[in-house]
Amino acid sequence: MTPTLPADLVLMLLADARLPTAGHTQSAGLEPAVTHGLQSAEVADYIALRLRTVTRVEAATAVVALHHVRQGLPLDDVETAWAARTPSAALRATSRSMARAMLRVVRRLWPDDPSVRALAPGVSRAVVLAAVADACGLAPVALARLVGYDDVQTVASAALKLLPLDPADVSAWVLDALPLVDRLALEVAPLTLPGSIPASGAPQIEAWAESHAATTRRLFSA
């Protein structure tokens, strides 16, 4: 733990796209969505849909994993629950590859933290984020906000590379999404059991993710 650091400063660090965790390789599924016809006017709707579905699953998984880390419970059950709620192999692979990139950084930042050291290779991003949250003393609701916020900003920054948009307009969409992020965080923050993780699927997002994994014509890895 690094209890002397204020939580909001740690959150800024973790949410900062300049943290070298390969965030620039990600579009949160926006690239295949645009390839399949998603219009600029639909980006805000896309952000909101993710917060209700796949990102909700990830945020809840992170919160439940944090509880398991803090209680000394095994993380395997959390990982299995997440995998059962993530039927797309492409989305699971993306999460685990992002987890690897994040793990490399956090092992450098918190080399002595027992939660970080205990992470098994190949875990999902939500589980790595939970260990980081434990290392930094973050509350569950802050961790859930981080997951939601990061997803919104990932879509937003990718949107500027994929679509002819005014960056100020995109920032306004991010601001508009913040209440949704907060609602999501407050909803999932009390969760402790793997079985209680919501399983809200998004069939079209999953279909786009699978088709993107099979193409080489792309700017973003996912």
Partner 1 sequence: MVAMCTADSTDRPVIRPMLMASDDAGAVVSLMPEGALLLAGDAIAIDVFVGPGARLELVEPAGTVAYPMEGGRASWEVTITLAPAATLVWAGEPFVVAEGASVDRSTRIGLGVGAALALRETVVLGRHGERPGMLRQSLDVTGPNGVPLLKEELDVGPTSSRLLLGGARALGSVLVLGHRLAAGVGDGSGTRLELEGAGTLVRHLASDAHPATSAAVWAAARRAVS
Q: Which is nearer to partner 1, 10 or 212 (CB)?
A: 212
The pair phi, psi for residue 42, each rounded to 5°, is -100, 0
> Minimum Å distance from CB 58 to partner 1?
14
Q: Which is nearer to partner 1, 14 or 63 (CB)?
A: 63
Q: Which is nearer to partner 1, 147 or 205 (CB)?
A: 205
> Minimum Å distance from CB 203 to partner 1?
6
Q: What is the token pair recorded at 76?
A: 């395997």
> Minimum Å distance from CB 63 to partner 1?
17
> Minimum Å distance from CB 81 to partner 1?
6
Q: What is the token pair recorded at 203?
A: 């069939």
Q: Which is nearer to partner 1, 111 or 121 (CB)?
A: 121
> Minimum Å distance from CB 119 to partner 1?
18
> Minimum Å distance from CB 199 to partner 1?
4
Question: Do the beta carbons of residue 168 and residue 37 sit within 8 Å?
Answer: no
Residue numbers at the binding site for partner 1 (CB under 8 A): 33, 36, 38, 42, 45-46, 48-49, 53, 80-81, 83-89, 92, 194-195, 198-207, 210-211
Q: Which is nearer to partner 1, 91 or 98 (CB)?
A: 91
Least Cα distance to 158 among 65, 33, 18 occurs for: 33
Q: Which is nearer to partner 1, 11 or 170 (CB)?
A: 170
Cα dihedral 49, 132, 27, 8, rounded to 10, equals 70
Give Cα 44 distance to the centre of its chain.
Answer: 17
What letter does residue 40 receive in the DSSP assignment?
Answer: G
With b for 16 or more beta-carbon neighbours within 10 A and e for fewer, the 19-37 pattern comes to: bebebbebbbbbbbbbeee
Please state, in angstroms and rounded to a whole number, the distance separating the CA atoms of residues 42 and 204: 14
